[in-house]
């Protein structure tokens, strides 16, 4: 599924994210968490929070695995990556988001906090935790610090 973890999509304090492919050819993002005790708590919290939540602006959790100190989360793949690469870069003007797109993203993210049941407090909203699907619709990721 992960092609031996050859294609790394990103990394952070939690561990690393790799591109993978399911047997039906669907692309996924596989988050492998580190071995620290704090990542164990974040893993449990992320599975519990996202497992109870279905929302158009939340990256879908497709599955998870926990075996001793190895923990992994399998998410839908977001082909356009994070908002960070579009707003915090030196890309030419034509390759950046327009003001309208940034506004639409902000409204989509704000809707998560007001239109979601149960209500979620994310606590770590930042450009690299806002991902974009094929149509550049915003999707929130990294719910390790979130609280319902």
Give the dihedral sign, CA 49/52/53/54: positive
User: What DSSP letter does each residue of 58-114 carry, written as one string?
Assistant: BPPEEEEEEETTEEEEEEE--TT-BTHHHHSS---GGGS--HHHHHHHHHHHHHHHH
Residue 145 lies in a domain: no
Residue 148 lies in a domain: no
Lowest mean pLDDT among 9-18, 32-41, 42-51: 32-41
- DSSP SS3 for 36: coil
Q: What are phi and psi of 30, to 5 degrees?
A: -110, 115
pTM for the predicted model, two decimal places: 0.78
For residues 77-86, average pLDDT? 85
pLDDT reported for residue 28: 95
Lowest mean pLDDT among 43-57, 83-97, 101-115: 83-97
From the list 35, 90, 124, 133, the catalytic residue is 124
- Return binding residues for ATP: 31
Q: What total of structural domains would you count in the chain?
A: 1
Q: What domain range includes position 110? A: 3-140
Q: What average pLDDT is seen over the chain?
A: 77
Active-site annotation holds for 90: no
Residue 146 lies in a domain: no
Output 93 or 24, whichever has higher pLDDT: 24
Binning pLDDT at 50, 70 and 90, where does residue 119 land?
low
For residues 113-128, average pLDDT? 67
Tokens of 131: 């991902």
């Amino acid at each position: 599924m992960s092609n031996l973890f050859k294609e790394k999509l990103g990394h952070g304090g939690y561990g690393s994210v790799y591109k993978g492919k399911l047997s039906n050819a669907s692309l996924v993002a596989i988050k492998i968490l580190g071995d620290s005790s704090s990542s164990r708590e974040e893993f449990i919290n992320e599975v519990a929070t996202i497992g109870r939540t279905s929302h158009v602006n939340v990256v879908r959790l497709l599955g998870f695995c926990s075996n001793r100190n190895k923990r992994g989360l399998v998410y839908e793949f977001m082909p356009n990556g994070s908002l960070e690469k579009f707003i915090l870069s030196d890309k030419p003007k034509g390759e950046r988001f327009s003001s309208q797109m940034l506004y639409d993203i902000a409204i989509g993210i704000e809707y998560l906090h007001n239109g979601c049941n149960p209500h979620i407090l994310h606590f770590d909203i930042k450009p690299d935790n806002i991902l974009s699907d094929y149509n550049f619709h915003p999707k929130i990721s990294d719910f390790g610090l979130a609280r319902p």
